[in-house]
Structure 1
Amino acid sequence: MTNEIEKFLAEVAENIAGLKQDTDVQALSRIWLREITRHKYAYNFTWLGRPLIQFPQDMAAIQELVWRIKPDLIIETGIAHGGSLIMSASLLAMLDYCDAVSAGTVIDPRTVQRRVLGIDIDIRSHNRAAIESHPMAHRIDMIEGSSIAADVIAKVHEMARNYSRVLVLLDSNHTHEHVLAELEAYAPLASKGSYCVVFDTLIENMPAEMFNNRPWGKGDNPRTATTDFLANHPEFEVDANIEAKLLITVAPGGYLRRVN
């Protein structure tokens, strides 16, 4: 059985290596991304009833990371409708369930340890109400305020002190300045072997006119911020395998693995 699994994993690794070399399929994927983004494709999906505003491919990748890392805490900047918080909470619930099954015990919701922390400068009342009434709400904490404000950063760091394995997901204001400040504030909280995922780095690859009504755009976006951050933080590296196997992702170059 082990040999069969190893053979399958070796085949997957070979597939990914091939995709890294296939410039034609990479180009086709970039064209598809450009055209589908005009249709607000990411708005089409929900998770357990809440709008997710993400690509399904990236959510599959996040699920794989959660299973591999088994984080105690997931920190997310940007809440919107709360679908991503609900997804993270449900994945952590499955981890707890699997732990309980392995230990032959029963989960008591009142003693839940794994949690999700969401930060947003404006948590709209209808979104807050929907999140707080959701069955996953007992795993979710929210902070309303700018994710780069000193008091908010201090609160997040204080909470993170209680957790040994932390995963960080950045998806709020997409300007270079804001994302770089988020990276400096929260990436260090990602535990060794875990990730800080920076969403919407694909903005750099999109036509400039797609962002005429936004404060971000080509040359001023999460990708440029990530590039600057990595230049000064050798403890992180881009996991190119994730981008290669997904091909369709809003986070090219944005899956940052902490190696030290």
Structure 2
Amino acid sequence: MSLLKKVFNQFRSANVNSDIVFQTNLKLIEKAHHQTSYRGVTMVKCPFDLVLYQMIISEVCPDLIIEIGTKKGGSALYFADLLRNIGCGEVHTIDIEQAVDEKVLKAKNITLFEGGWQNYLLENCQGFKRIMVIDDGSHVYDEVLAAFEKFNKLVSVGSYYIIEDGIIDQLNIKKAWYNGGPLKASLDILDKEPSFVFDKKYNDFFGPNATFNPLGYLKKV
């Protein structure tokens, strides 16, 4: 007897409805995203956004992704592999201090920068034509705006400046030091910066705001 048939018979014998209903909630997704890894390296990304990232990277084919916030380097490794698979690009990943996995250190198309985004030299971007920026840094409102002010002009038309974790509002993570956080920063940017638009296609791909980066997919036009 097949395993599937055994499981089905157990349902029937227990008088359990065989129409299994998909159930989850935002708190469960948040808990799981802290345990998400790529090639065994911690990456702390919502699975929905991982799918969106591979679609965006395939669409834009950037020759440089600047990532603010490295942690263990799982997302940098993911981005670097995606770029290598489509034959273009490298990753500059920035943090205050780097404590990354050995796999990240060995990746030929990842360059690590310490000292925080404030000390990243824009000269490092010379020679790159299609640039994407991902801010997964402190999530403090003032710092999100300051990082955008520094990096947004690097983003090429048709590419993206992505501000992560606006979801912290909905998760009720409203600690004083966020000062409104990424969501407030995205709203202010969209209100004041006409060269960027809110990309509803990716924001609502899995349903309205079914992303950890609501209002965070900003496209350069």
Partner letter of residue 114 of structure 1?
A: G
Distance in 1, Cα, partners of 2:167 & 2:74: 21
Give a deviation string over 1:107-134, Cα, whole Å, max 9, x none.
xxxxxx721000001212xx2645213x
1:109 corresponding residue in structure 2: none
* Structure having the larger proportion of residues in helix: 1
2:184 corresponding residue in structure 1: 224
Partner letter of residue 193 of structure 1?
A: G
Is the CA contact 1:58–1:246 (under 8 Å) kept in the aligned structure 2?
Answer: no
Is the CA contact 1:190–1:258 (under 8 Å) kept in the aligned structure 2?
Answer: yes
Distance in 2, Cα, partners of 1:94 & 1:224: 35
2:52 corresponding residue in structure 1: 61
Matching of residue 255 in structure 1 with residue 217 in structure 2: yes
Distance in 2, Cα, partners of 1:94 & 1:227: 34
1:17 corresponding residue in structure 2: none
2:114 corresponding residue in structure 1: 144
2:105 aligned residue (103, 113, 132): 132
Partner letter of residue 47 of structure 2?
A: P
Higher Rg: 2
Is the CA contact 2:174–2:180 (under 8 Å) kept in the aligned structure 1?
Answer: no
Matching of residue 87 in structure 1 with residue 78 in structure 2: yes
How well do the aligned residues superpose, as a CA RMSD in angstroms?
Answer: 2.0
When normalised by structure 1's length, the TM-score is 0.71
1:32 aligned residue (25, 34, 39): 25
Is the CA contact 1:58–1:249 (under 8 Å) kept in the aligned structure 2?
Answer: yes
Matched residue SS, 2:205: helix
Give a deviation string over 1:199-224, Cα, whole Å, max 9, x none.
001112232xx455x732xx520111
- Structure 1, unaligned stretches of length 5 or more? 1-28, 97-112
1:165 corresponding residue in structure 2: 130
- Structure 2, unaligned stretches of length 5 or more? 1-22
Give a deviation string over 1:124-149, Cα, whole Å, max 9, x none.
2xx2645213xxx11000110121x2
Q: How many residues align?
A: 197
Partner letter of residue 227 of structure 1?
A: L
Partner letter of residue 243 of structure 1?
A: N
2:96 corresponding residue in structure 1: 121
Partner letter of residue 170 of structure 2?
A: N
Partner letter of residue 215 of structure 1?
A: W
- Bigger relative contact order, structure 1 or 2, given CA contacts below 8 A and separation 6+? 1
Distance in 1, Cα, partners of 2:81 & 2:101: 17
1:193 corresponding residue in structure 2: 158
Is the CA contact 2:61–2:89 (under 8 Å) kept in the aligned structure 1?
Answer: no
How many Å apart are 1:158 and its aligned residue? Answer: 1.0
Partner letter of residue 205 of structure 2?
A: K
Q: Percent identity?
A: 28
How many Å apart are 1:232 and its aligned residue? Answer: 1.7
